[in-house]
Amino acid sequence: MRLALAVACFLAGAAHAVEDPYPWIASAYLVKRDEVVLWAGSADSRLPLASLAKMMTALLALERGGLDEPVKIGRGVLQATGTRIGLKPGEQVRASDLLAATVVRSANDACRALAEHLGGSVRIFVQAMNGRAVMLGLGDTKFADPCGHDREGQYSSAADLVVLAEQVMRHDEYMRLARQQRVTIRTLDGRSFTLRNTNALLGRYPGAIGLKTGHTEGAGNCLVALAERDGVRVLAVLLNAPNRWWNAAGLLDRAFAAAR
């Protein structure tokens, strides 16, 4: 009887081990400090993820390598909507520059060109995205578009996106790009683009590193925020957060304060 009571108490405590003290900040969120989950709300809910999908596109590009390869831009970029940098069919851009535009500016024409280059077609590349998601154990994630446009059947969860974020964080090139407030890329014939990072925390929030922003009508404002201070690293994922910058900064502040 005592053993059963002890087990019941343990399970009850485990169920409440991760608090949800901020249910109003986002439809779903999760905050980790140095690999430990501090707070989470609806972290396993399947929701649209907007351009946070580009983290998987970037991961596949980084894992494949060959970023020095020239990429001939196809006519598919003409179908890109939302944020674009104005790539033209027929011009050539190095894969590394397409990656930079995808990560820093969240440019959909660069993202689509990169996906077509890596997969041969968007459809085949999306299959690769889903295959990698399975390998990572992302049971609440399914991709239908490499750039994160609203598509039927495309979703992820805050918990899955933390896992994906931690994978891209293993790549120095992603981390270098994510923290850049501005980058300049060029086509091989010399046309240049100076791109500003979509992450408003960079240069404003002490210790901010990146990691990825997203917004669509279906997903709302989404954010993967990473910051580091005095060797302490905090990672936060917010899905459909109306006040994402303010709320992300507040979560990061509280996480750093709790580490003292």
Residues designated as active site:
51, 54, 106
Distance CA 72, CA 129 (A): 22
The two tokens of residue 44 are 């396993």
